[in-house]
């Protein structure tokens, strides 16, 4: 069995989202080992079984340079792909490389990788990875389940009641679907007013930009306005998303309640990054995405890196494609 077949067998053991992410990384690892160790289909088990920590670090440097990596989180993903591939080979009893099979050795290797990230001055800010397609599908399904409940009375409050868990789920589900659609920050959502939604035109204004709503989300927002009208007594309160407890803006914790209950964390950025990557897939520029979503260059830059990873586009390939697509190319 050749290297590519072994890799594909390994990838079939993973979720499709993870397999897609790892495939490009393992191709880079193969290119490095082929260029530096003369690895071939005939000897790859032998070469990999004798790989050293220096080989892994050198392959990471090769990855950083060839893929124009700027974020440590991306390098961490590369290391995870290699480590799990080695674990897979070990489980098949094809290799026994103590670099990964022993915990202490793996920890020492991790430190070498952290040092390499510092050497290349990679962005090490605490940025979370995007949700996977599977996670977003689960989240959308749960939000729709909450928002389709025909009993609207369950979301109202009795006299002096300050908390209603059903209403908290309802408002969180609406907010999450808007984040999945747009990728905007919590701050943008918290600043929205009722005038930012036009149900007649099926549009919503996010960070100053009017965009169309999907039909289902528009109907769900209409139901939300019905519930809101029963709860808000103060006619001057035009906040789109509010807290009955404080009579002011809803909290970040409440906004992400359904995310926390469904996936076990409250990382709004991870939800937004999935949306941002989808915007990149449509051809929307990173600069416009930053202006629309309110996220910084660090966050959108990492999404751009993730997007190129998924396409399997190296820096050299991206540059070559750009040169070849130049409208003056054939005149020269």
Give the global pTM: 0.77
pLDDT at residue 325 tops 90: no
pLDDT (mean) for 44-53: 86
Nearest to 171, CA basis, from 116, 111, 224: 224
pLDDT of residue 244: 66
Query: What is the rounded distance in angstroms from the CA atom of residue 142 to the CA atom of residue 156?
Result: 21
pLDDT band, very low/low/confident/very high, at 20 (cuts 50, 70, 90):
confident
| Contact between residue 315 and residue 67 where contact means Cβ atoms under 8 Å apart | yes
| Contact between residue 56 and residue 98 where contact means Cβ atoms under 8 Å apart | no
Q: What confidence tens digit (pLDDT) does each residue in 207-248 have?
A: 999 999 999 999 999 999 988 888 877 777 788 987 766 556
pLDDT (mean) for 290-319: 84
Element (H, E) at 150: none
Sign of CA dihedral 261, 295, 182, 228: positive
- The per-residue pLDDT of the chain, averaged, comes to 87
Query: What is the rounded distance in angstroms from the CA atom of residue 251 to the CA atom of residue 273?
Result: 21
Q: What confidence tens digit (pLDDT) does each residue in 171-202 have?
A: 999 999 999 999 999 999 999 999 999 999 99
| Contact between residue 305 and residue 74 where contact means Cβ atoms under 8 Å apart | yes
Tracing tokens 């409208």 back to the chain, one arrives at 327
Query: What is the rounded distance in angstroms from the CA atom of residue 152 to the CA atom of residue 132?
Result: 32
Query: What is the rounded distance in angstroms from the CA atom of residue 310 to the CA atom of residue 263?
Result: 23
């Amino acid at each position: 069995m050749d290297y590519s077949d072994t890799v594909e067998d390994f990838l079939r053991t993973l979720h499709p989202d993870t397999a897609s992410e790892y495939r490009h990384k393992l191709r880079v690892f193969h290119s490095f080992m082929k260029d530096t160790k003369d690895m071939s289909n005939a000897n790859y088990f032998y070469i990999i079984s004798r790989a050293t920590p220096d080989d892994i670090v050198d392959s990471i440097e090769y990855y950083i340079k060839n893929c124009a990596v700027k974020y440590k989180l991306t390098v961490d993903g590369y290391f995870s792909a290699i480590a799990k591939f080695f674990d897979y080979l070990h489980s098949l009893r094809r290799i026994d490389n103590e670099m990964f099979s022993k915990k202490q050795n793996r920890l020492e290797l991790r430190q070498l990788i952290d040092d390499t990230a510092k050497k290349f001055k990679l962005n090490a800010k605490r940025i979370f990875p995007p949700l996977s397609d599977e996670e977003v599908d689960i989240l959308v399904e749960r939000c729709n389940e909450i928002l389709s409940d025909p009993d609207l009375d369950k979301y109202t409050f009795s006299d002096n009641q300050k908390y209603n868990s059903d209403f908290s789920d309802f408002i969180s589900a609406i907010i999450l679907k808007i984040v999945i659609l747009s990728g905007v920050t919590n701050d943008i959502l918290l600043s929205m007013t009722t005038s930012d939604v036009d149900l007649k035109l099926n549009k919503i204004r996010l960070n100053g930009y009017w965009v169309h709503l999907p039909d289902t989300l528009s109907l769900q927002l209409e139901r939300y306005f019905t519930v809101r009208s029963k709860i808000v007594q103060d006619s001057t309160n035009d906040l789109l998303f509010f807290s009955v407890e404080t009579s002011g803006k809803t909290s970040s914790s409440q906004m992400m309640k359904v995310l926390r209950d469904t996936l076990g964390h409250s990382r709004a950025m991870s939800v937004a990054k999935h949306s941002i990557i989808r915007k990149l897939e449509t051809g929307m520029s990173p600069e416009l995405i930053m202006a629309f979503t309110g996220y910084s260059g660090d966050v959108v830059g990492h999404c751009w890196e993730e997007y190129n990873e998924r396409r399997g586009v190296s820096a050299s390939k991206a540059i070559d494609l750009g040169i070849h697509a130049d409208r003056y190319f054939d005149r020269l």
